[in-house]
Chain A
Amino acid sequence: MVRVIGFLVGLGFVVVLGYSLIVGAIAYFTEEESGPTSYDYHLYAQDVSFPSDGPLGRFDRQQLQRGFQVFREVCAACHSLEYVAFRNLTEIGFTEAEVDAIADQWPIQVPTVDENTGEETTRNAVPADNFPRVYANEVAGRAANNNAYPPDLSLMTKARGEGAAYLYSLLVGYQDPPADLPEEFLPTTGLYYNPYFPNLNLAMPPALFPDQVTYADGTEATVQQMAWDVTAFLIWTAEPRMEARKATGWAVLIFLIFATVLAFLSYKNVWRDQKH
């Protein structure tokens, strides 16, 4: 009985699927060749490497500080860094005094309540604060940016499939649209052509220009250099515990391999006179 019912049910699924398949196949093979899609002009992220790559990779603190400088002087005008606190900057080599100063001089103040009147007001940031939001809310952010909201950057390198390489490519990838680009993909007002962006046109204006920042360590501030540095900084903001993770990983692996070899030997020892 089970098998008869099962057979009928199975046949039912096979018939319905076969029908779907035939309908789909006819549609697929008779379909007209459609024109180019935005996908045809999209580019995959460039091949770029960072000191933090790979199982042995570590952050280059000098580079992270340069990256922070780019963030502070360029990106912070539009983008927030919600999940990072000023105090975390000591982890990339700033001294406590420097962090105090960075927080105190941050152009955006943090909301607070006046101690005497109880009224809402603002104060200078302190190291314990997270980086304050640029806009009070998303509506304000959109209003200021041609109806596109500049996303928070703290997790950006983990929040895109192509990761840090995508960020770097995006920052250096602004260019004139190719001559054969169909009209519907041309950037409209307030949009900028960038083949690394999935839609080809994004609302962020090109942010980096040569010598836009002056690096204290004398590194030449080319667009590539700044993009590389700020991306490295954003790898850190997305995964600040990466170095601890990899170091722990090696210790755990060495221990586990040792323990597993021992376990294997004891397994062989226990079984030495058993046929199996």
Chain B
Amino acid sequence: MSFPWAEQYTPKNPFMKWMDERLPIPRLVYNSVGAGYPVPRNLNYFWNFGVLAGLALMIQIVTGIVLAMHYTPEAGMAFASVEHIMRDVNSGWLLRYLHFNGASFFFIVVYIHIFRGLYFGSYKAPREMVWLLGVVILLLMMATAFMGYVLPWGQMSYWAAQVITGLFAAIPLVGESLQQWLLGGFAPDNATLNRFFSLHYLLPFVILGCIILHIWALHLPGSNNPTGIDVKGPQDTIPFHPYYTAKDGFGAGVFLIALAIVVFFAPNFLGHADNYIEANPLSTPAHIVPEWYFWPFYAILRAFTVDFILEAKLWGVIAMFASIIVLFFLPWLDRSPVRSGTFRPKFKIWFWVLVVDIIALAYLGGAPAEEPYVMFSQIATIYYFAHFLIILPLISRTERPLPLPNSITEAVLGKDKTTAQPVAAE
């Protein structure tokens, strides 16, 4: 697909030949994730996470489809139907714990994937479209996860639905009507549950479609790599299969081990105890918190405490959405021509500050909305926006990058001078 030296698909038997002439799906697979896709030879383990995200989505879809066969989206029965799955459906507990923890693992993997892209400049030309589609996927994942969290109809489900749709009520004039339109009523109820179930079933397939576009857009320029420099010739690449399929197989094994440890030995560790209490509109939990993967955004939402022209709540809502929207503009905010953080001494420092900042935001978002947590989330939120909107554009002007290697092959061989020798092209 991407480079002229990519290996060509040759059907091995008459059936495949027949197929190739009529519907070249084997060729498509071969060119996308087979030997026909040349990949830089120097990818590190952080490049495993894209495939892992795909694996996580598949786990969610498969377990989700079976769960939907046993689940009842009706306000009076939803909670009991989840308990029915946990107790009476054969291996229902396994499906449900896999699906519930699988969502968390999906986010872990995707967050690492995003940080990988941020550090190695994978959002820069010519891969802006890959990045934009990635942000769309992140937004879709968030919507899907939020609606999924409502389905068990526990206390946190109910109050999360109330609070999150309540965010829209902060919008002037249309806010309240908008919230009622989203909920299908004045408060979360059967109508809410039904529409959330419908959308929760739909969106993963929309995500799947976006992933196909994401990969399509990626395969035109080909994968980025830890040096960030372009592929110069055949010696810089190796075929995806068998090299990266083998590496991804190992990565998938490690991922599944981690998932299994949580699913089988600490299945409720990532959840909230209150969600084992059935939804009760008359009793508000002491601390309403979303799932852990929303905590950084929740901290940003709550960081605005004082009215300033606009209501504080509206500021929070704007900032929370802006914290993701800003990612759409990243390719045009960071103008440094050097992609990889390895060769950007200043960028590298700020990048790690950002990582710490987001981890701090996550911690603060899970903490109660009290001082001194609020003050810390204000400081952390200031940094978050300053990083993307002020610091990155400035350092991309003032920074003096380190000298880049001439080619990927040179960078690879430079690592280990003793055995340096020209590498034959594949």
Contact = CB atoms under 8 A, between A and B. Distances in A.
A240 B382 CA distance: 48
A27 B286 CA distance: 23
Interface in B337-361: none
Contacts of A55: 264-265
Interface stretch (A180-188, A213-221, A251-259): A251-259
Interface in B380-406: 381-382, 385-386, 388-390, 393
Contacts, number: 170
Interface residues of B, number: 67
A155 B264 CA distance: 18
B268 A245 contact: no
A56 to B, nearest CB: 10
A260 B250 contact: yes
Most buried by A among B274, B381, B390: B390
A20 B87 contact: no
Contacts of B385: 9-10, 13-14, 17
Contacts of B170: none
B191 interface: no
Given A28-B372, A248-B264, A276-B412, A241 B257 contact: no
A253 B260 contact: yes
Interface string B25-43: 0000000000000000111
B393 A275 contact: no
A257 B256 CA distance: 9
A256 B253 contact: yes
B375 A21 contact: yes
Given A20-B303, A55-B265, A274-B243, A241 B276 contact: no
A77 to B, nearest CB: 22
Nearest to B40: A276
Interface in A59-89: 82-83, 88
B248 to A, nearest CB: 9
Nearest to B397: A3
A207 interface: no
Contact of A275 (B256, B265, B326, B416): B416
Given A240-B87, A256-B257, A11 B390 contact: yes
Nearest to B409: A275
A263 interface: yes
Contact of A17 (B256, B371, B381): B381
Contact of A158 (B268, B308, B329, B333): B268
B323 to A, nearest CB: 9
A158 B276 contact: yes
30 contacts: A2-B332, A3-B335, A6-B326, A6-B388, A14-B385, A17-B382, A18-B378, A20-B303, A24-B371, A24-B374, A28-B372, A159-B274, A159-B276, A159-B277, A245-B93, A249-B261, A252-B264, A253-B260, A256-B257, A260-B254, A260-B256, A263-B246, A263-B252, A263-B253, A264-B250, A267-B250, A271-B243, A275-B413, A276-B41, A276-B43
Give the 7 A-B CB pairs with smallest separation, nearest first: A249-B264, A10-B389, A260-B253, A159-B276, A21-B378, A270-B246, A2-B332
Interface of A: 2-3, 6-7, 9-11, 13-14, 16-21, 23-25, 27-28, 55, 82-83, 88, 151, 154-155, 158-161, 163, 198, 238, 240-241, 244-246, 248-250, 252-253, 256-257, 259-260, 263-264, 266-267, 269-271, 274-276
